[in-house]
Every structure is written in structure tokens, then in C-alpha cells.
């Protein structure tokens, strides 16, 4: 509503100026209106049609999109028009600075919520280096999986005969299961090569997006990796695309492996939707540059025409 009010104020103050530069302000005006419509119940079909829109969790997270247009519209609405005295510009600058600093201080005092001790930077770095891993956020768990089913203490890879083998024992109600080797749920355990093992070894140059396993598998079976089943993972066994087995309740990746030497490579790839998003971003940037260049030329022409008119008069 603040953005809509700013639009009204801006139009009322500078109707003549805006009429000559519609290409500049019209997209900025449409953004707040579009975000406003997405907050209302009748926009539910849009949220259902675009499933990844739900990753925002809450419709009002779209308010982040308003920051850029609101900043531009606010500046255009309050800044003195051409020909205004310097003292007025100084007064507007001082008033806006006081408003922004004051509102920031009040917001930090009344609404800032510090994180829990275990969520601070130092404890999280410590957990990452220990190799214990993090439970994860439920809205980003694999489809049909449950973060609460993922056992703690798992090895990088666990060989079983049954891909649905239960890993870990639930000792504490409400907590994740715990795994240790003496449970014998894994017929063999394997670890990623140290130069690619991430966080656990703390090795320099470790990369979480590329893991390499050099295995000697005692028998054909299902290799359960300590990786969740996301579409961007590309897994190869001895140079060929791996055959992933049935989905597990904990969302861990299961790969069929043969007996004998196995070279297992796991790489995080760029999916088609990410590539499309990057191209859309580049296209938006190109359009923005084109719009800026067009407005710059129009402004120069208006100044030139104004100067010519003044000279003739």
C-alpha cells in the first residue's frame, strides 16, 4: 500500500514529467501492483500453476521485490523538482537520512530476533567440520522424504542387500535416529576420497559438489549414499550413469553397484530450470540497460529542445 501511495503522489506531483517518460516509470508501477495481487486469495491459481512459487513459503515474501521500485519511486516523489533552491535539496536529504536511520534503529530495537546459540556462526562451523551434518529445513527435503528419518553419524556410503534397509536406531523420541557401525545395518562402509570429502576432513580445496569414490565392492548390492535425492545430482558408476533404486523414507540416494572395483563419481550439475533462470536474468539485465540508454537519450533531447526554445525566445 505504501508503494501504491507513492505512485499516486508521484503522478500528482509530476504528471507532466512522467507523461514524457512512461517507459521509465510504468514497469516500476506495475511491480507493486503485481505483488499486491499475489497477496490476495484470488491469486491462488497462480500459486498452484507455478509450483516453485511455493518455495517462498509465505506470499508476503514477495515484498522483497518491492525494495528497488519503492526506493526509486520514493526518491522521485520527494526530491525537489528542477529549479528548486539548494537549501530545499539539503533539507530533503537531511529529513530522509533522519527517517531512515531512525526507522532502522527502532526496528532493530523492537523486532530484531537473535539466533539461538547453536545457530550462531562458530557452533555451525564446528558442526560442519565434525562431519555430523545438519538436519536440514523441511521445505527443502526431497519429495516424499522426511528429514526426521535421516540417521546421524552415517558413513559416506553404506552397502546393503536391500535398498530399504533401516539405518540407525531411535534412542530419543522426537530426535533423529543414531547410526554406528556395530549395528551391522551396513554390510560394508566406504568413504569418499579425502581430496573430495567435504567438511569432514577439512581438506584444502574440498568441494561439496564433486565427490569421488574408489571402491572394492565385495558383492552386488545397493549402495546408500549420504546424499539426498535431488535432481541435480549426476552419479556415474565406472563411467556409466548409475541406476538409482527405490526411494527411501529418509530421502537418501541409493545406487546399484556391481561386485569388484568401482569408480563412483557424484557431481552437482546445472539443471534446465537453473539455466533458463540465468538466461531470463541476462535478458532482464539487457532490457534494463536498453531502457536506461533510451531514457538517457530522451533526457538529452528534452534538454536540447528546452535550450533551443529558450534561445529562440
189 pLDDT higher than 80: yes
104-161 residue pLDDT tens: 899 888 888 777 777 788 888 887 777 666 677 777 888 888 888 888 888 999 999 9
Are 111 and 130 members of one domain? no
Name the more confident of 6 and 102: 102
Domain end, chosen from 65, 86, 115, is at 115
Q: Are residues 219 and 95 in the same domain?
A: no
The Cα 142–Cα 12 span in angstroms is 51
State mean pLDDT over 167-179.
83
Contacts of residue 184, defined as CB under 8 A and 6 or more positions apart, other chains included, come to none
Task: Kindly state whether residue 191 falls inside one of the protein's structural domains.
Answer: yes
Number of domains in the chain: 3
Q: Which domain holds residue 283?
A: 276-308
**Residues 15-31: pLDDT tens digits?**
455 544 555 677 777 88
Residue 291, in any domain of the structure: yes
Same domain (yes/no): 172, 239: yes
* Same-domain check for residues 214 and 197: yes
Q: For residues 262 and 166, state if they share a domain.
A: yes
Please indicate, yes or no, whether residues 238 and 291 belong to a single structural domain of this protein. no
- pTM across the whole model: 0.64
108 and 128 belong to one structural domain: no
Do 198 and 290 reside in the same domain of the chain? no
Name the more confident of 244 and 144.
Answer: 144
Domain's final residue, options 85, 115, 145: 115
Residue 313 counted as domain residue: no
Q: Are 111 and 54 in a shared domain?
A: yes
Domain termination residue (choose one: 60, 85, 115): 115
Please give the average per-residue pLDDT across 54-62, as a whole number.
74
Q: Does residue 126 share a domain with residue 49?
A: no
User: Do 126 and 256 belong together in one domain?
Assistant: yes
* 203 lies in some domain: yes
Q: Which of 48-62, 79-93, 104-118, 224-238 has the highest mean pLDDT?
A: 224-238
**Mean pLDDT within 73-86:** 77
For residues 157 and 234, state if they share a domain.
Answer: yes
Does some domain include residue 91?
yes
Write phi, then psi, for 40 (nearest 5 degrees). Answer: -95, 150
Amino acid at each position: 500500500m505504501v508503494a501504491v501511495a507513492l505512485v499516486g503522489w508521484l503522478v500528482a506531483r509530476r504528471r507532466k514529467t512522467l507523461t514524457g517518460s512512461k517507459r521509465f516509470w510504468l514497469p516500476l508501477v506495475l511491480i507493486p501492483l503485481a505483488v499486491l495481487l499475489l497477496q490476495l486469495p484470488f491469486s491462488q491459481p497462480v500459486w498452484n500453476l507455478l509450483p516453485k512459487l511455493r518455495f517462498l513459503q509465505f506470499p508476503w515474501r514477495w515484498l522483497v521485490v518491492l525494495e528497488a521500485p519503492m526506493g526509486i519511486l520514493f526518491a522521485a516523489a520527494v526530491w525537489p523538482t528542477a529549479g528548486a533552491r539548494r537549501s530545499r535539496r539539503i533539507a530533503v536529504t537531511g529529513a530522509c537520512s533522519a527517517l531512515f536511520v531512525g526507522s532502522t534503529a527502532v526496528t532493530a530495537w523492537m523486532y530484531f530476533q537473535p539466533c539461538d546459540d547453536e545457530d550462531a556462526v562458530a557452533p555451525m562451523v564446528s558442526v560442519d567440520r565434525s562431519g555430523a551434518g545438519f538436519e536440514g529445513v523441511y521445505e527443502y527435503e526431497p519429495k516424499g522424504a522426511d528429514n526426521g528419518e535421516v540417521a546421524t553419524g552415517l558413513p559416506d556410503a553404506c552397502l546393503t542387500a536391500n535398498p530399504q534397509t533401516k539405518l540407525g536406531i531411535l534412542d530419543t523420541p522426537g530426535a533423529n535416529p543414531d547410526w554406528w557401525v556395530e549395528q551391522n545395518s551396513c554390510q560394508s562402509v566406504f568413504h569418499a576420497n579425502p581430496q573430495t570429502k567435504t567438511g569432514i576432513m577439512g581438506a584444502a580445496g574440498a568441494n561439496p559438489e564433486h565427490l569421488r569414490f574408489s571402491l572394492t565392492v565385495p558383492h552386488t548390492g545397493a549402495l546408500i549414499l549420504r546424499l539426498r535425492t535431488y535432481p541435480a545430482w549426476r552419479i556415474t558408476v565406472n563411467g556409466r550413469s548409475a541406476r538409482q533404486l527405490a526411494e527411501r523414507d529418509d530421502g537418501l540416494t541409493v545406487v546399484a553397484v556391481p561386485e569388484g572395483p568401482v569408480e563412483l563419481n557424484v557431481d552437482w550439475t546445472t539443471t534446465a530450470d537453473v539455466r533458463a533462470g540465468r538466461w531470463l536474468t541476462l535478458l532482464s539485465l539487457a532490457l534494463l540497460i536498453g531502457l536506461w540508454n533510451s531514457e538517457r537519450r530522451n533526457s538529452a533531447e528534452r534538454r536540447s529542445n528546452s535550450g533551443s526554445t529558450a534561445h529562440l525566445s
